Amino acid sequence: MRVRPGVELASLTDIGCIRENNEDSSIYWEPDPDDLFPQLGRLAVVADGMGGYQGGHIASRMAVEIVSETYAGSTVTDPQQRLLGALGEAHHRIQERARGSASLSCMGTTCTALVLVGNRLYFAHVGDSRLFLFRDGGLRLLTSDHTLIAHLLTIGAIQPDEAERHPHRHVLTAALGVGEAIEPDFPQEPLCVRAGDVLVLCTDGLWGQVENAEMKTAIASGSPASACRALVELAKERGGPDNITLQVLRVN
């Protein structure tokens, strides 16, 4: 895996303390030819699969690989549209794979992906894996969860304190491979990043167990690699009920 100067990258995945297999996947990609790097930039993706022992892992692995391959091979010039097209391709191909096997019929996956071209940040996501921006000591959530709880909060049916203990807090309302069509969330304009910014992609096995204040402390106190280790260990200390996956990119 090539990482050109400009960012410091670390990633880590852990099965957690309860699950018997890891259904999370992640990938980081940069184009090999140097002349393509200014146009395509850097791509990072995390995915959290669902659909049983085999299906979840297959769906998440397909998602990160297809998004990477499709983004790399697309002829679309706009990075945001290129990324959206890659998620759409992953959605359709996961559906095709599921239709071909009864044992995979219920599989699907979250998918959160970012592209960094120069100082411009693009992203797209489906599900409840998250993208955070750490800047000047503050932590900002850039994505909105596609979950039943998020919907209930939006329409005012429940209060934030109820969401933490709601029995359906992990029920997804959208995922790659599920439903006829997907509508990924994405920014209308790219965000400008600057030196010192830290981007965190993670599955709910991390953010569901770790408070934002704890995430800020881990990011601020060390390197991306040490932040990954500290956050995974903290999630496991809280019981580690799910797989835990994150990627941390510090802009230099």
Q: How confident is the model at residue 1 (pLDDT cuts 50, 70, 90)?
A: confident
The pLDDT tens digits for 34-76 are 999 999 999 999 999 997 667 999 999 999 999 999 999 999 9
Helices 224-237 and 212-220 sit at what angle, rounded to 10 degrees?
150
Q: Is the dihedral of CA 91, 97, 101, 107 positive or negative?
A: negative
Q: Using DSSP, state whether 122 is helix, strand or coil.
A: strand
List the domains of the chain with CATH numbers: 7-251 (3.60.40.10)
Task: Read off the tokens for 195.
Answer: 């030196």
Helix/strand/coil percentages in the chain, nearest 5? 35, 25, 35
Q: Within 13 Å, how many C-alpha atoms sit on residue 34's CB side?
A: 2
Q: Using DSSP, state whether 80 is helix, strand or coil.
A: helix
The pLDDT tens digits for 130-143 are 999 999 999 999 99
Q: Using DSSP, state whether 106 is helix, strand or coil.
A: coil
Provide the 8-state DSSP code for 193. Answer: P
Strand 120-126 and strand 130-135: pairing?
unpaired
Q: Which percentage of the chain shows pLDDT scores above 90?
A: 83
- CA 10 to centroid of chain Cα atoms: 14
Phi and psi based region of residue 51 (left: phi greater than 0; alpha: psi -120 to 50; beta: remaining): left
